[in-house]
Amino acid sequence: MSATPPLARLVEEVASQASLVTDLLPGGWHHLYVPGVDRPVVLGPGGVFVLDVRHQATLPIGVQNDRPWANDHRNQMSTPRLTAELASQLLSWACGIEITVTPVIVLAGADSADEIVPRPDGVDIVHQHMVDRWLSNLPAELDAETIALIVEHVAPTPALRLQHA
């Protein structure tokens, strides 16, 4: 009888928490299924975001060193930015309009009082239990027509699509 390895348990927990994050979307927000993007993509009045859910106990969220790139220049994109770029290209192709996807790291398994070190790539970090408030407080970037166009071309995930009045 073998026990589940600790890494497998952590992966399952993060996947479960990613589902919880998208289950709590505020009114007017949709969780989209974007083939090829293995992270939750959400759409609403504040824009389109790819949520990179990370557990507090995994790799560091921020980087203490303010110059993490070799020779003072960035020679590659960070994983959240690369994932957002992929989602942008796929959604733009599917919808026929330019769509910009912004990466957000959702910190799971942490207390909101925990200090977050800013990332050198400028990706926002939001505690899991603050995602709905964070999304609700974003300035409007997309109008209802654009949101409807994207939803028409990219199917929302049925199990996670929320209809709020």
How far apart are the C-alpha atoms of 22 and 29, rounded to whole Å?
9
pTM over 0.85: no
CB atoms within 10 A of CB 42: 24
pLDDT at 162 over 50: no
Residues paired with residue 41 on neighbouring β-strands, in sequence order: 32, 50
How far apart are the C-alpha atoms of 48 and 101, rounded to whole Å?
5
Cβ pair 99, 92 in contact under 8 A: yes
Cβ pair 50, 102 in contact under 8 A: yes
How far apart are the C-alpha atoms of 7 and 57, rounded to whole Å?
11
Residues in the chain: 165
pLDDT in tens, 42-85: 999 999 999 988 876 554 544 444 444 455 555 566 788 899 99
